[in-house]
Chain A
Amino acid sequence: MVLDLRAPIALRGKWIGMILLGFVALAGIVGSAAILMTMNQRQMDGVAHAYQVERQVSAMRVSLLRIDSFRRKKDIERRADELKTYRTRLDSAIASFRTLTSDNPRQQARVPLLEALQAQVLLDVGAITKEEFGESIRVEDPLGMLDVLTKAMQDEELRLQRFRNAEMRRIQYGFYVVLGAAGLLLIVVGLLTFVSLRRFTRDLVNSRQALRDANAGLELAVQERTADLKRANGELQRFAYIVSHDLRSPLVNVMGFTSELEIAAKRLGEMLEEARKTRPETLFPGTDELIEQDLPEAIHFIRTSTQKMDRLINAILQLSRQGSRALMPAWLDMNRLLADVVETLKVRAEQAGAQIIIAPNQPEIYGDRVAIEQILSNLIENAIKYNQPGRPPIIEVTGRRIGTHAEFRVTDNGRGIDPGDFERVFDLFRRSGAQDRPGEGIGLAHVRAVVYRLGGSILIESELGVGSTFILSIPLHYSEEQSQVS
């Protein structure tokens, strides 16, 4: 199964783009809203301003009309304070108007006319002298003129207000357009984000599922493979067992009838002896040789071969039995276990003059006692057996922990093993070096089978004539899964 892990990453880039676009749209909305609000505020201020101007206009008109009502002299004398108030009010209204409409030349142009009307009215009521009035223009109907003028002033403000209201509406309209567009953009971005997010999630889920499937498949494949191996191995063991058993049966006959033949041959020998004494002339030439040499020789070879065959069959049987034996792991004090192994080999070690040194502080391990005893016993026994001629064996066993494994080294000063034979010595019925010691080539094959079964490994370091070291590595804690198919 091929997984494209890049797809989600590309999708993620797109996704980030969407989110950025969304943020840009939001910022646009906020920004344009701020701008439009400012614009709107300005227009609103303008409207308020126009109202203010209008108020000043009407104040001017009212004040002037009031002043105009002071037609009689006694009025002026009696109500001098009132007149003064109106004059002040009128002056301040004109001043205000002038400042308020300073940006509008059309209104400004009307101010002098208004002042002229004011002067005429003041002159008419006698508030100012002719000198004070000076060269100012005079109109026929000052109040009618005032009406027209103030009307024009108010109309001007009204026109401005209308214009500003229209402007405000336009701004609002623009605001709605921007809002709508931004909203639309947000919706689009949101939808796209949602879709891509969904696709991203789906792809992620799919790829995770695919990964899980692949893992499960792999695990299943491993399990199947292990089961196959176990089955094949079990079959091989049964095969070895059955074959070795069935081979024994004919071997009983070969051995048995060889013995019968031997008995017969011996009897023949006796008869030959008898005939030599009594009737030597009846013997054919070569009969002596046939009965006294050829026959015993043939019988001897048949016998030694069958004996060897029997030993080999027994070895296969033993090996196949070891494989089917149930392991019983337990905590093992290796110091004691090694001492026990040495004890069982005591007689052989004494005969060979061997010295066995067990290093202190051997690591404790959890494993099958019988299996580990067999391994170490075999290795130490070999070390005693294959000494360098004329050199008493010195054997040292050390042990230490390396990670999850315990390493034991069995070092000897024996005759050594040719590096070319490092593999061969572990093969069944194969041996290395001079074939001058008894044995069938079973021990190390057995050792390796047991070591593998415990989930360990075994290596050799050796130099011819100097000595060998067998490096045994076995798990500190035996577990069924860890053990190799054995």
Chain B
Amino acid sequence: MSNPLPVTIIMIEDDLGHARLIEKNIRRAGISNHITHFDNGTAALEFLFNPTQDPARRGPVLILLDLNLPDMSGTAVLARIKEAPELHRTPVVVLTTTDDRVEIQRCYDLGCNVYITKPVNYESFAEAIRQLGLFLSVIQIPESGG
């Protein structure tokens, strides 16, 4: 690990299968950071905006966001995160099945840092996640609240 800070990965993903596959491939890429998984947007926002519940969350976070959530749209979650002064610098990786151009543009407009389409082809998928792992191992994550 080149990043000395204990970065927590927040994964907001309603499909448990996807979540498991993502986690497996992140681990295969050699990333051992703690992954906190939420299967809906409400719980994830609750956690992000009320850090007192978990003292360990005080450190920097990186968010993996799926756009198709059961309770609210992923773009709404993205907008909430990027609007909040204490969270807007947090890197958000949108990882979703949607490859609609308009949707991708909207996410970047809202301030998403990386947009990745989940390929159905598993080799490509695994490769994408491993690349993401590589990316996670080198990026500098700002402290939250800054």
Which residues of A are interface residues toward B (Cβ below 8 A)? 245-246, 248-253, 255-260, 306-307, 310
Q: Are A253 and B21 in contact (CB under 8 A)?
A: yes
On whether A253 and B15 interact (CB within 8 A), knowing A245-B97, A245-B98, the answer reads yes
Give the Cβ gap from A234 to chain B, nearest Cβ, in Å: 16
Q: Which residues of A sit under 8 angstroms from B118, Cβ to Cβ? A: 248, 252
Cα distance A250–B24 in the bound complex, in angstroms: 17
Q: Are B21 and A256 in contact (CB under 8 A)?
A: yes
How many chain B residues touch the partner (CB < 8 A)? 16
Q: Interface-forming stretch among B57-65, B74-82, B120-128?
A: B120-128
Provide 23 A-B residue pairs closer than 8 Å at the C-beta atoms, listed in order of the A residue: A245-B68, A249-B97, A251-B120, A252-B15, A252-B18, A252-B21, A252-B97, A252-B118, A252-B120, A252-B125, A253-B17, A255-B121, A256-B17, A256-B21, A256-B126, A257-B17, A257-B21, A259-B122, A259-B123, A259-B126, A306-B120, A307-B121, A310-B121
Give the Cβ gap from B74 to chain A, nearest Cβ, in Å: 13
The residue of chain B having its C-beta at the shortest distance from the C-beta of A303 within the complex is B122
The residue of chain B having its C-beta at the shortest distance from the C-beta of A249 within the complex is B97
On whether A256 and B15 interact (CB within 8 A), knowing A245-B98, A249-B97, the answer reads no
On whether A258 and B15 interact (CB within 8 A), knowing A245-B97, A253-B21, the answer reads no
Q: Which residues of A sit under 8 angstroms from B120, Cβ to Cβ? A: 248, 251-252, 255, 306, 310
Cα distance A249–B118 in the bound complex, in angstroms: 9
Task: Please tell me which one of the listed residues A249, A256, A258, A307 contacts residue B68 in the complex, with CB atoms under 8 A apart.
Answer: A249
Give the Cβ gap from B117 to chain A, nearest Cβ, in Å: 10
Contact with A along B12-24 (1 / 0, CB 8 A): 0001011001001
Contact with A along B84-128 (1 / 0, CB 8 A): 000000000000011000000000000000000011111101100
Q: Which residues of A sit under 8 angstroms from B126, Cβ to Cβ? A: 256, 259
Q: Are B24 and A260 in contact (CB under 8 A)?
A: yes
Task: Please tell me which one of the listed residues A248, A258, A307 contacts residue B97 in the complex, with CB atoms under 8 A apart.
Answer: A248
Q: Which residues of A sit under 8 angstroms from B119, Cβ to Cβ? A: 252
Cα distance A250–B17 in the bound complex, in angstroms: 8
Cα distance A248–B119 in the bound complex, in angstroms: 9
The residue of chain A having its C-beta at the shortest distance from the C-beta of B66 within the complex is A249
Q: Which residues of B sit under 8 angstroms from A245, Cβ to Cβ? A: 68, 97-98
Cα distance A430–B103 in the bound complex, in angstroms: 32
Give the Cβ gap from A302 to chain B, nearest Cβ, in Å: 11
Task: Please tell me which one of the listed residues B15, B24, B125 contacts residue A255 in the complex, with CB atoms under 8 A apart.
Answer: B125
Q: Which residues of B sit under 8 angstroms from A252, Cβ to Cβ? A: 15, 17-18, 21, 97, 118-120, 122, 125
Give the Cβ gap from A263 to chain B, nearest Cβ, in Å: 10
Cα distance A307–B98 in the bound complex, in angstroms: 18
Cα distance A250–B18 in the bound complex, in angstroms: 9
Contact with A along B116-146 (1 / 0, CB 8 A): 0011111101100000000000000000000
Give the Cβ gap from B25 to chain A, nearest Cβ, in Å: 9
The residue of chain B having its C-beta at the shortest distance from the C-beta of A244 within the complex is B97
On whether A249 and B15 interact (CB within 8 A), knowing A257-B21, A260-B24, the answer reads yes
10 closest A-B pairs by beta carbon, nearest first, are A253-B17, A259-B122, A256-B21, A255-B122, A310-B120, A248-B97, A256-B122, A251-B120, A249-B97, A252-B118
Q: Which residues of B sit under 8 angstroms from A259, Cβ to Cβ? A: 122-123, 126
Task: Please give 4 more A-B residue pairs, beta carbons under 8 A apart, in addition to A249-B68, A259-B123.
Answer: A251-B120, A253-B15, A255-B122, A256-B17
Q: Which residues of B sit under 8 angstroms from A257, Cβ to Cβ? A: 17, 21
Q: Which residues of A sit under 8 angstroms from B121, Cβ to Cβ? A: 255, 307, 310
Cα distance A257–B15 in the bound complex, in angstroms: 13
Cα distance A249–B97 in the bound complex, in angstroms: 6
The residue of chain A having its C-beta at the shortest distance from the C-beta of B68 within the complex is A249
Cα distance A241–B47 in the bound complex, in angstroms: 33
Scoring A249, A250, A251, A259 by chain B CB atoms within 10 A of each residue's CB, the highest score goes to: A249
Q: Are B98 and A253 in contact (CB under 8 A)?
A: no
Give the Cβ gap from A437 to chain B, nearest Cβ, in Å: 23
Give the Cβ gap from B12 to chain A, nearest Cβ, in Å: 15
Give the Cβ gap from B127 to chain A, nearest Cβ, in Å: 12
Give the Cβ gap from B22 to chain A, nearest Cβ, in Å: 9
The residue of chain B having its C-beta at the shortest distance from the C-beta of A310 within the complex is B120
Q: Which residues of B sit under 8 angstroms from A307, Cβ to Cβ? A: 121
The residue of chain B having its C-beta at the shortest distance from the C-beta of A257 within the complex is B17
Give the Cβ gap from A266 to chain B, nearest Cβ, in Å: 14
Q: Which residues of A sit under 8 angstroms from B97, Cβ to Cβ? A: 245, 248-249, 252
Q: Are B24 and A253 in contact (CB under 8 A)?
A: no
Scoring B15, B21, B122 by chain A CB atoms within 10 A of each residue's CB, the highest score goes to: B122
Q: Which residues of B sit under 8 angstroms from A250, Cβ to Cβ? A: 15, 17
Q: Are B123 and A249 in contact (CB under 8 A)?
A: no
Cα distance A252–B98 in the bound complex, in angstroms: 12
Give the Cβ gap from B5 to chain A, nearest Cβ, in Å: 30
Q: Which residues of B sit under 8 angstroms from A251, Cβ to Cβ? A: 120
The residue of chain B having its C-beta at the shortest distance from the C-beta of A306 within the complex is B120
Cα distance A248–B121 in the bound complex, in angstroms: 10
